[in-house]
Structure formats: C-alpha cells, structure tokens
Amino acid sequence: MGRNTGLPDALGHLRIATDTAPSAWPDDTGCGVLHIDMDAFFAAVELRTRQELVDKPVIVAGSGGRSVVLSANYPAREFGVRSAMPVAAARRLCPHAVYLTPTRGIYSEVSTAVMAVFAEFTPLVEPLSLDEAFLDVSGALRRLRTTPARIGAEIRARIAAEHGITCSVGIAPVKFAAKLASGMAKPDGMVVVPPGQVREFLHPLPVSALSGVGQRTNAALERAGLRTIADVAATPLARLRRVVGAAAGEHLHALANGDDPRPVEPDSPDKSLGAEQTFDVDQGDPDVLGRELHGLAQRVAATLRAKGLAGKTVVVKIRFADFTTITRSRSLPAITDVAHEIYACAQALLEANVGEGSLIRLLGVRVEGLTDRDGGQQLRLDADEPRWRDAELAADTARDRFGTSAVRPASLLRWSSTDRTRSGADHGETDTSR
C-alpha cells in the first residue's frame, strides 16, 4: 500500500481529473513507470457483497484479542483508523464501526485477477504485495499506440468494471516518484509526474516520505536540521554520510535528487522469508519465548526447503509491550535452510536484546540474503549440519504425508494448541517479502 502524504496544492496540476479530456492531462512523455495500488483493498473486496455498508466505517480484522487492523475503508480512516493498528485502539477511535473478519482465500483470488489485467498491457509487472505493483509500460506504448496515462486510465476502468474495486495510479519516470504519486492520488485517482518536474514534486515533501526513512533515520535528519526532501537534496553528500551513515546517505541523496535507477523486475526472486507470532498476553518467560522462536524457525526453514532456497542472514523482530519494535540481524558463515541453525542464531539475538523483566508482545524470525540452495554458494561442511538437515528433511516428508502436526521437535510438544499465551490470530502463513 502506498504512503498517502497528500498532493500539495502547488502540484495540483499533476492530478488527472476524471472529467477532463486527455488533451488537458499533464505531459507523460518519458513516464514509463506506473505504480498501481488498490484502495483499502481488503475492505473493498469485502464490501463488494455488502453494498449496504459502503458509506459506513468498516474495519477488517481478526477476531483475536490482540489482532490488528488488516484494512479500514475511507469512512473509518476519517476517524484515524489505520492498517496494522491494534483493534483495541481502532475501537476507541471508531466504536461504531462495522467489524468484519477476513474471508479466507478471496483476497488472493482477486489479486491474481487484477495482476492478470496488468499483464495484458505489459509483461513487465513487479508485484509488491497482493494489492500493489509496479508496471513498466515504456516498451508497450508503440505496440498499443497509446500513452502511459491512457494505460493507467484504462486499467482503473477495467478493475472497477470487472472486479468492483478502485485503485490509484502514480505515473513517473522512476519507481520512487511513481509510488509516492499513487499515494497522493488516493483514493481512486491518478497523478502524473513529468520527467522535468520530479524534483519539484519531491522537494516540498517531508523527509519521512523518502524510501528507507524510519523513525530513527527521521530523527537523525531532523536533529541535523533536514526536514524536507529539498533539504536532503541540497546537503553535501559528505555531510549526509556523517548524519545517517555512508550507504544510507548515498541512497537518500540520490532519491532526493530524483535518481532511482531500479528497473521494474517481473517475478523478482524472493528477498526474504519470515514468520511472526503475536501473544495473547505480553510474555516474559524465557522458556515460552524460546519455544515460540523455535517454532518460528521451524516454519521458516520448512518453507525455505520447499522453495529450494537458503539464506545467510537471520533477522529477529521483537515488539515489546509498549509497542516499541526492534529488529536485529546476524549473518551466518554460510547459507542454510536448517531450522536448528536459524533457531540458534535467533535465540542468541533474542538473549542479547531482551533484558530481564521485559515483556514481549510479538516475535518474528526472518531469513534474508536468499539464493537457490544449489545455486553455487557453499554450504556448511561441518559434521553437524548434514545430520540436522537430514532429520528435518525426514520430518518434512512425514508432515507432507500425515499432516503438519505429525512431527515436531520435542521442545515444542509441551506447547498445547490451546496454550493461552499464543494469539488466536496466529500470523500463520509464512510471508514472503519482495
């Protein structure tokens, strides 16, 4: 989902009004990248069969006591409700909203159909999630005898007519600007950023709009007096490196000046695989946390093996009771798809970053730096790794044949399926980040 920062009044001419002729649209010559983002996707899909709720605040969320908001329609957003917000907080902001539980499977169905519409215009489609994607249409313009903005308008019309939901489209010469533009087009709009106006478009925006700027980087930039993208663009690269580090400084300086060389990559390989778990009750018992971490490592490793992948970096995500969230990572000596190794690394990271008495709301494990297991990178050759992998492969076979609960590590056998410390809204599916 795109970040909606709102289109500044001075840039209002970049928005395409629905009642204007194409001849009055902004010049989209050289704007080969489209970012298309469904509007309040999960809520919109649910409302297709609940038209009586369209004008009411609607929130899609799990039923567990510690669930978070999956999606909120725009009437609910007017009360401050946002995706990923705890349901308890959403209820305080909008107690009169209609709460719907997610309909399993339907979102993937609609997403697949929407992506198929994109593919009719260009083979260069890079999905970012179920509800958004980049398209490179530069090679399709001559074949279709059209323009980027006309393609965007036709896709919007097709999705509304065929699937009953709306989307917003950002059109620009580079991915970063296109993604920001789609956020500013929301809901159900389209914004074009001509090549000659990329800096004009970016510079009034706050530094938080830059890709990769989280709370910590934002605070560092603000301490240095850098509050807008224009400030970052005007800052000498050497100073920016001192403020946020060499790699981040170069990245932000390039983006602030409108430089984004990343191509649209269709079917880009998985960059990471992870799983996470929210607890029903904030948890501080090291044994419980360790068992949960072990279970997450098992899930991630099994998915890696199923996909023929292995990774080199283990990342642990920890959300404390006060909602402070940290991620910590460590690289392994060689790539792995073995749960035993992933767990050992994750446990070390957990112990190093959670003090005695700390209460934890959520734990996550992710493996990054993925590559094909047989793709040429050396695996570990010590005596233990093959034995652990053989045991886990045997467990995979048993689970495939007899079900997911057929084989579990002994340390997890004490973990009852009704254990009250776990969330009823388990994040369940191992997620793939792109």
Q: Phi and psi dihedrals of 320, rounded to 5? A: -80, 170
CA nearest neighbour of 88 among 62, 118, 121: 62
- DSSP three-state, residue 28: coil
Q: How far apart are CA 46 and CA 259, in angstroms?
A: 39
Residue tagged 């929407």 (tokens): 114
- Tokens representing 244 are 């946020």
CA nearest neighbour of 280 among 288, 269, 272: 288
Report the catalytic residues.
Answer: 132
Q: Are 304 and 310 a contacting pair, CB within 8 Å?
A: yes
What count of other Cβ atoms lies within 10 Å of the Cβ of residue 395?
A: 17
- DSSP three-state, residue 278: strand
CA nearest neighbour of 278 among 292, 297, 294: 292
Kind of pairing between the strands at 167-172 and 132-136: unpaired
Q: How far apart are CA 122 and CA 144, in angstroms?
A: 10
Report in angstroms the alpha-carbon separations of 272 from 250, 313, 377: 24, 9, 17
**Amino acid at the residue 148:** P
What count of other Cβ atoms lies within 10 Å of the Cβ of residue 151?
A: 22
- DSSP three-state, residue 133: strand
**Amino acid at the residue 96:** H
